């Protein structure tokens, strides 16, 4: 099945063309074309994503990326050899989502191909299908720790299309907390990688931080998160320090943020002994310290296999949208593309 996948939910414009066959839990995926334009440098001066700028850039970049992707796949733009057009319908910034949806609708009409409206978070979950080893398959039920700029969720993946959110943030997403703390420290957007680098430097120096931040909700027996108090604690600390060692602040912040993610994941694994796979995905899954702490955790659960997408699959991309569309194609495909509507707060449970 050949799928043209389009992603415009935030500040990356991405198009991929995939040839996917085989069982959903172990598909064979050929990447015929994959192009991405990151707007990060444009949003840096605003210290975050500016929706109308994102929209304008998506509209400008989509035709360019499409032409390049079709060319890479050796297809012509009048009658390309594809079966479906997959597009992210949510969650994300609605003006940005609409640009991808409108583009998909036009192509669907022009080529007479059905559209598969796709959930961005399902994309993050199934991004791990690309890195499976030849003899491996994605064994369900799985637990997914989804950590991005907009989401922090623990999701029980019972089957393809059957999800239950068993933990979520009550305020900020963890990526948002990384970005906000980075801004307090005058580091560029997006702040996650910058904080991570500083924290790593401090850890490697062998120094012990002279203060710790509280791990929010660490003792609540539920699986929910909260990151806004941690962000405020960093702000107060910053104000109270006469000599500021930014790497020490970054380190203590990352220790607390990662600590709580790992602890809640441990609790979820204990509560659900049926889980066969732990998926850690979304932009923050690129964090090296989170990865190493999760690896240590999983050693205590020898029956659970860990899947973390490689770097280019952890932040937003169109490959993951194609994979999510493949596993849901039967239920989600529509030959009435005008029925596809952007949903900024689309949940995995609907």
Q: Is 130 in a helix, a strand, or coil?
A: helix
Least separation in angstroms between residue 173's CB and ligand KG4 is: 7
For residue 253, CA distances in Å to 4, 60, 307 come to 40, 38, 25
Query: From the CB of residue 221, how many other CB atoms can be counted at a distance below 10 Å?
Result: 7
3-state SS, residue 82: coil
The verdict on 176 binding Zn ion (CB under 5 A) reads: no
Question: Measuring CA to CA, how many Å separate 166 from each of 145, 156, 181, 278?
Answer: 10, 7, 27, 14
How many chain residues are in contact with Zn ion, going by CB under 5 A?
A: 2
Using rule CB under 6 A, residue 123 touches ligand KG4? no
The interface with ligand KG4 within residues 5-34 (CB under 6 A) comprises 10
If we measure between CA atoms, which residue out of 96, 95, 159, 90 comes closest to residue 126?
159
**How far is it between the farthest Cα atoms of the chain?**
66
What number of helices (H) and strands (E) belong to the chain? 11, 10
**Can residue 169 be called a binding residue for Zn ion (CB under 5 A)?**
no
Q: Is 104 in the site for ligand KG4 (CB under 6 A)?
A: no
CB 206 within 8 A of CB 247: no
* DSSP assignments along 14-61, one per residue: EEEEEEEES-TTS-EEEEEEEEEEE-HHHHGGGTS--HHHHHHHHHHH
Under the binding rule (CB under 6 A), the answer on residue 196 touching ligand KG4 is yes
282 touching ligand KG4, by CB under 6 A: yes
Q: Choose, by CB under 6 A, the member of 117, 150, 216, 309 that binds ligand KG4.
A: 150
Contact string 295-334 vs Zn ion (x = CB under 5 A): ---------------------x------------------
Under rule CB under 5 A, residue 194 binds Zn ion: no
Helix (H, G, I), strand (E, B) or coil at 157: strand
Strand partners, 195: none
Cis upstream peptide for 345 (omega within 30°):
no
Q: Pick from 283, 309, 322, 337: which binds ligand KG4 (CB under 6 A)?
A: 283
Contacts 24+ apart (CB under 8 A), 285-288: 285/145, 285/147, 285/309, 285/314, 286/192, 286/193, 286/311, 286/314, 286/315, 287/192, 287/196, 287/254, 287/258, 288/196, 288/200
Give the nearest distance from C-beta 53 to ligand KG4 in angstroms.
16
Q: For residues 126 and 178, which CB has a smaller minimum distance to ligand KG4 in the complex?
A: 178
Q: 36 or 70: whose CB is closer to ligand KG4?
A: 36
Mark 118-157 with x for binding to Zn ion (rule: CB under 5 A) and - for no binding. ------------------------------x---------
Among 33, 192, 209, 216, binds ligand KG4 (CB under 6 A): 192
Tell me the C-alpha distance between 108 and 15, whole Å: 15
Minimum distance of ligand KG4 from residue 292's CB (angstroms)? 12
Contact 72, 65 (CB under 8 A): no
- Does position 309 bind ligand KG4 by CB under 6 A? no
Q: Name which of 69 and 285 has its Cβ closer to ligand KG4.
A: 285
The answer to the question of residue 90 lying near ligand KG4 (CB under 6 A) is: no
Contact partner at residue 118 from Zn ion, ligand KG4, none, CB < 5 to 8 Å by partner kind: none
CA distance 317 to 123: 9
250 binds ligand KG4 per the rule CB under 6 A: no
Smallest separation, CB 146 to Zn ion (Å): 9
149 scored as a contact of ligand KG4 (CB under 6 A): yes
- Between the two ends of the chain, the Cα-to-Cα distance in Å is 26
Q: Which does 323 bind (CB under 5 to 8 A by kind): Zn ion, ligand KG4, none?
A: none
Nearer to ligand KG4 by C-beta: 50 or 301? 50
Q: Which of 315, 320, 332, 342 binds ligand KG4 (CB under 6 A)?
A: 315
Verify cis geometry, omega within 30 degrees of 0, for the bond prior to 141: yes
Q: Applying CB under 5 A, which residues contact Zn ion?
A: 148, 316
Q: Applying CB under 6 A, which residues contact ligand KG4?
A: 10, 148-150, 175, 178-179, 190-193, 196, 282-284, 286-287, 315-316
């Amino acid at each position: 099945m050949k799928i043209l996948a389009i992603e415009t939910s935030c500040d990356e414009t991405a198009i991929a063309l995939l040839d996917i066959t085989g069982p959903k839990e172990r598909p064979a995926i050929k990447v015929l074309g994959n192009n991405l334009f990151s707007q990060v440098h444009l949003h840096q001066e605003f210290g975050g994503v500016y929706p109308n700028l994102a929209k304008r850039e998506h509209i400008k970049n989509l035709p360019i990326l499409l032409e390049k992707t079709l060319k890479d796949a050796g297809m012509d733009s009048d009658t390309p050899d594809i079966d479906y057009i997959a597009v992210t319908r949510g969650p994300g910034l609605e003006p940005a989502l609409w640009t991808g949806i409108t583009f998909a609708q036009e192509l669907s009409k022009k080529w007479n191909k059905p559209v598969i409206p796709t959930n961005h978070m399902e994309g993050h979950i199934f991004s791990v299908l690309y890195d499976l080893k030849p003899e491996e398959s994605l064994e369900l039920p799985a637990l997914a720790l989804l950590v991005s700029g907009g989401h922090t969720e623990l999701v029980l993946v019972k089957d393809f299309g059957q999800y239950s959110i068993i933990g979520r943030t009550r305020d900020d997403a963890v990526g948002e907390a990384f970005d906000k703390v980075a801004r307090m420290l005058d580091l560029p957007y997006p702040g996650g990688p910058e904080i991570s680098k500083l924290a790593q430097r401090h850890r490697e120096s062998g120094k012990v931080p002279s203060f710790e931040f509280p791990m929010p909700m660490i003792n609540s027996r539920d699986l929910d998160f909260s990151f806004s108090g941690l962000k405020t604690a960093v702000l107060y600390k910053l104000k109270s320090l006469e000599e500021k060692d930014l790497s020490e602040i970054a380190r203590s912040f990352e220790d607390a943020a990662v600590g709580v993610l790992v602890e809640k994941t441990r609790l979820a694994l204990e509560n659900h002994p049926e889980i066969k796979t732990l998926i850690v995905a979304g932009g923050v899954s690129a964090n090296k310290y989170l990865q190493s702490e999760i690896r240590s955790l999983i050693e205590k659960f020898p029956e659970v296999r860990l899947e973390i997408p490689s770097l280019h699959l952890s932040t937003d991309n169109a490959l993951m949208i194609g994979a999510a569309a493949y596993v849901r194609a039967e239920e989600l495909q529509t030959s009435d593309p005008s029925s596809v509507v952007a949903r900024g707060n689309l949940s995995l449970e609907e």
